[in-house]
């Protein structure tokens, strides 16, 4: 061991020792950093991404139909894709105008958007989450059958929207023409329709879970019919402006990736998804779990309906809006990005 007195060092030796001390400090810092990373792991890509990008997503119902958006937000799947998911509740017709103008990035309710596309709106559907209409025909306690509703008032969200169209089809299954034998009035979204039912402002409405189950269990309303097993309907998903699709495909890929993760969580984890639903809706677990089970079969899982479901839906739409023949599916849907995400995540 050699001991050196500080007073005996030359200026050059002091400089060498100073550099050595600096090197030792750097090495110590690197060792501490490695240890911290082992204890507190992180994703390097997250640090490199910068501030999350805002993505504005419209939705029209706070019920089950929009559940994948709520899961993506609450489970932070948007955040993992460096997106700040801003969910904006608005009517489907208002969302179409906002989508065309660029004030909304993604339209979550796509039934009315599809009809607008068929009339020339510059939008495309890039994903479909619901392959069946998720509505229950709910009536006040004094009405036991659909035929009892003749002359009564039907509450709707938007004239010509998916909910209105589905209600008319369910009523037609029992021999009534809703346009001629009932009066339809715009009431608002489903919680407002439930309130209108309880005050007798309306006598019937097509309502999604959990509101249909709440109406039955809490207010003794009657569920007279359900649409899930009756016919195909493309109700929810993602529609975007054509310019957005052409110019910002990576932005949309991140959105679709987050939504695919949310769908996977919903479809594969019944208990956890039901608990999350109960929390979002401020309902008990029983209603949330029943709503989950009643709705699960209506979701696509892949974001892409079958060709037959698309064909059936477009044929019905052509009749509703008075087209001489259905429009080609390619002029309405573009699942290119959804297929890429499904391949990447192994979704089948």
Percentage, residues of the chain above pLDDT 70: 86
Number of H helices, E strands in the chain: 16, 10
| Strand 183-186 versus strand 153-156 pairing type | parallel
Beta strand pairing call for 153-156 and 236-241: unpaired
Mean pLDDT over all residues of the chain? 86
Rounded Cα distance between 165 and 188, Å, is 15
Indicate if the pLDDT at residue 292 is higher than 70. Answer: yes
Mean pLDDT of 300-309: 93
Q: Lowest-pLDDT range, 7-11, 119-123, 209-213?
A: 7-11
Confidence of residue 186 (pLDDT cuts 50, 70, 90): very high
pLDDT computed for residue 41 by the predictor? 45
The better pLDDT of the pair 206, 7 is held by: 206
Contacts of 268 (CB under 8 A, 6+ apart): none
The per-residue pLDDT for range 46-104, each reduced to its tens digit, is 434 679 999 999 998 878 888 999 999 999 999 999 999 999 999 888 999 999 999 99
- Report all structural domains of the chain as residue ranges with CATH numbers, in order of start: 49-132+233-345 (3.40.190.10), 136-226 (3.40.190.10)
- Position 42 scores a pLDDT of 41
3-state SS, one letter per residue, for 298-343: HECCCCCCCHHHHHHHHHHHHHHHCCCCCCCHHHCECCHHHHHHHH
Query: What percent of the chain shows pLDDT beyond 90?
Result: 64
Q: Is the pLDDT of residue 43 over 60?
A: no
Sheet holding 136-139, edge to edge: 183-186, 153-156, 204-207, 136-139, 222-226
CA distances from 121 to 99, 191, 195 (A): 10, 30, 34
Measure Cα distances from 115 to 5, 43, 111, 112, 128 in Å. Answer: 89, 43, 7, 5, 15
């Amino acid at each position: 061991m050699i001991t050196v007195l500080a007073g005996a060092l030359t200026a050059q030796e002091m400089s060498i020792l100073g550099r050595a001390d600096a090197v030792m400090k750097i090495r110590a810092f690197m060792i501490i950093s490695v240890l911290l990373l082992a204890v507190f792991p992180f994703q390097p890509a997250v640090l490199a991404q910068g501030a999350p990008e805002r993505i504005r997503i419209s939705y029209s119902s706070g019920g089950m139909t929009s559940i994948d958006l709520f899961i993506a937000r609450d489970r932070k799947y948007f955040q993992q894709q460096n997106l700040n998911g801003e969910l904006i509740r608005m009517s489907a017709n208002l969302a179409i105008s906002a989508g065309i103008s660029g004030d909304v990035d993604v339209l979550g309710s796509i039934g009315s958007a599809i009809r607008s596309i068929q009339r020339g709106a510059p939008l495309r559907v890039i994903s479909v989450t619901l392959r069946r209409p998720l509505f229950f025909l709910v009536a006040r306690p004094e009405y036991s059958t659909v035929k009892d509703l003749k002359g009564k008032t039907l509450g709707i969200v938007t004239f010509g929207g998916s909910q209105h169209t589905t209600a008319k089809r369910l009523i037609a299954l029992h021999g009534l023409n809703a346009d001629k034998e009932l009066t339809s009035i715009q009431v608002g979204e489903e919680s407002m329709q439930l309130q209108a039912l309880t005050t007798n402002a309306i006598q019937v409405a097509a309502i999604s879970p959990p509101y249909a189950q709440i109406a039955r269990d809490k207010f003794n309303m009657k569920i007279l019919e359900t649409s899930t097993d009756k016919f195909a309907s493309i109700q929810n998903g993602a529609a975007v402006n054509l310019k957005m699709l052409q110019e910002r495909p990576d932005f949309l890929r991140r959105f679709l990736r987050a939504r695919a993760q949310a769908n996977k969580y919903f479809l594969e984890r019944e208990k956890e998804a039901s608990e999350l639903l109960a929390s979002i809706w401020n309902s008990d677990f029983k209603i949330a779990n029943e709503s989950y089970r009643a709705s699960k079969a209506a979701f696509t899982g892949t974001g892409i309906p079958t060709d037959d479901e698309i064909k059936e839906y477009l044929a019905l739409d052509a009749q509703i809006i008075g087209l001489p023949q259905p429009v080609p599916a390619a002029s309405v849907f573009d699942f290119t990005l959804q297929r890429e995400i499904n391949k990447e995540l192994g979704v089948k």
